[in-house]
Amino acid sequence: MNSSLPEVMKRAVLHAPRDLRIENVPVPVLQPGEALVRVQSALICGTDLRIVDGTKTKNVVYPSVLGHEFSGEIVAADGALPENLRIGDRVAVYPLVQCGECASCQRGRGNICRNRRAFGYQIDGAFAEYVRIPAEAVHAGNLVPVGDTPADIAAVIEPLACAHNGQRLIDAHSARSMLVVGAGPLGQLHLRLARALGVETVIVVDPAPHRREVALASGAAAALDPSEVTPERVAKITEGAGFDTMVVAVGRADAMEPYLQMLAPGGRVNVFAGFPDGTDQVRIPANSVHYNETTIVGSSSCTLDDFRRVAELVRTGAIAADGLVTAHLPIEQLDEALERARQGIDLRISIDATGSLVATHRGTNA
């Protein structure tokens, strides 16, 4: 253990839906095999909002420390770290711990392991100064080194890896065109990833003009209001072919149904977004799916392999993950930050529990 660590730290504890408290608690004392990460950037994700609001309760343990998109520095370990890691290294943390034994795990699809446990609602997450990394996560390679990658960008590796999982499942690297429905943070990441994978024509659909502008600046061939996406317009953009691929990055039926008819033969659809309970029914044009051999595949979180690949793409600059974090707030203002996230003004908000905010980010949000 590191004797220079403080004894007490701040963290945000969710005791029940809507009951979120900032508390001073002892810095975790490590058990054999565990490591301690000092958080440098922890982002608010839609999943965090759904947990706070109580619209996601499945598998959520109370009390819980939210935050699963994060990066930080390894400050202590009890026992040996994996060979590629040292105390002081900066890492992004793959947020799932898998059983390693079920059929999904055996097939390399540990992200859909039924016995998996997730940082942020089953394992204490990153809206805290320090995060304890369980021994099985240290051992499994969940600590992924990021070198000099800035903290906010390293924290974006997680959502970007989720996009990578979805695009891998629809073979995006072999697609010429893609429709991305929804230009929120994940829609923007899908756009950037598709461009980095070589998809020539990416069209983004979103009703919000400021999000369409961001998409155009990030390489979208067009960014349209939903009312503008007509079969004629799509035919014109794709030279009559229709879309090879489509990513549904909004959990609403009307973000999926109208566009299924605009796919090219052999089209591939990734149902990326989670749908709120009770709104998860979508009408599928069965004959169009049948005659066109349409593939519709869901994706949930990401594999450790996706996470490592994306960390490499980000580290080498092959994909631009900058500009996604548009606000930084201290943990004391977490309620306000969550409200801003609900309103969708920012793409991603980083929560700071360490007090380094003033030193490192002063002036960046003016």
Q: List residues binding Zn ion (CB under 5 A).
A: 45, 47, 98-99, 102, 105, 113, 115
Round to whole Å and give the CA distance between 260 and 169.
17
Angle at 49 between CA 214 and CA 144, to 5 degrees: 75
Give me the residues paired with residue 201 across strands: 177
User: Least Å distance between CB 113 and Zn ion?
Assistant: 3
User: Least Å distance between CB 104 and Zn ion?
Assistant: 5
Sign of CA dihedral 73, 78, 84, 88: positive
User: Least Å distance between CB 266 and Zn ion?
Assistant: 31
Smaller CB separation from Zn ion, 287 or 343? 343
Smaller CB separation from Zn ion, 234 or 324? 324
Smaller CB separation from Zn ion, 66 or 179? 66
User: Least Å distance between CB 306 and Zn ion?
Assistant: 13
Contacts of 68 (CB under 8 A, 6+ apart): 45, 47, 48, 95, 118, 119, 120, 121, 125, 126, 158
User: Least Å distance between CB 66 and Zn ion?
Assistant: 10
The two tokens of residue 209 are: 């003009």
User: Least Å distance between CB 114 and Zn ion?
Assistant: 7
Smaller CB separation from Zn ion, 77 or 105? 105
Round to whole Å and give the CA distance between 3 and 30.
13
Round to whole Å and give the CA distance between 144 and 94.
7
Smaller CB separation from Zn ion, 77 or 91? 91
Smaller CB separation from Zn ion, 243 or 272? 272
Sign of CA dihedral 175, 247, 342, 59: negative
Any idea what DSSP says for residue 193? H
Q: How far is CA 8 from the centre of its chain?
A: 29
Smaller CB separation from Zn ion, 101 or 277? 101
Sheet containing 201-205, strands listed edge to edge, beginning at the edge strand earlier in sequence: 222-224, 201-205, 177-181, 243-248, 263-271, 295-298
User: Least Å distance between CB 39 and Zn ion?
Assistant: 15
Smaller CB separation from Zn ion, 123 or 264? 123
3-state secondary structure of 53: helix
User: Least Å distance between CB 234 and Zn ion?
Assistant: 30
Q: How many CA within 13 A on the CB side of residue 31?
A: 7
Round to whole Å and give the CA distance between 332 and 353.
8
User: Least Å distance between CB 112 and Zn ion?
Assistant: 8
User: Least Å distance between CB 43 and Zn ion?
Assistant: 8
Smaller CB separation from Zn ion, 199 or 248? 248
Sign of CA dihedral 322, 327, 332, 335: negative
Answer whether the bond into residue 63 is a cis peptide, omega within 30°: yes
Contacts of 149 (CB under 8 A, 6+ apart): 71, 90, 92, 311, 314, 315
Smaller CB separation from Zn ion, 47 or 303? 47
Q: Which residues of 344-365 are buried (b: 16+ CB within 10 A; e: fewer)?
A: eebbbbbbbbbebbeeebeeee
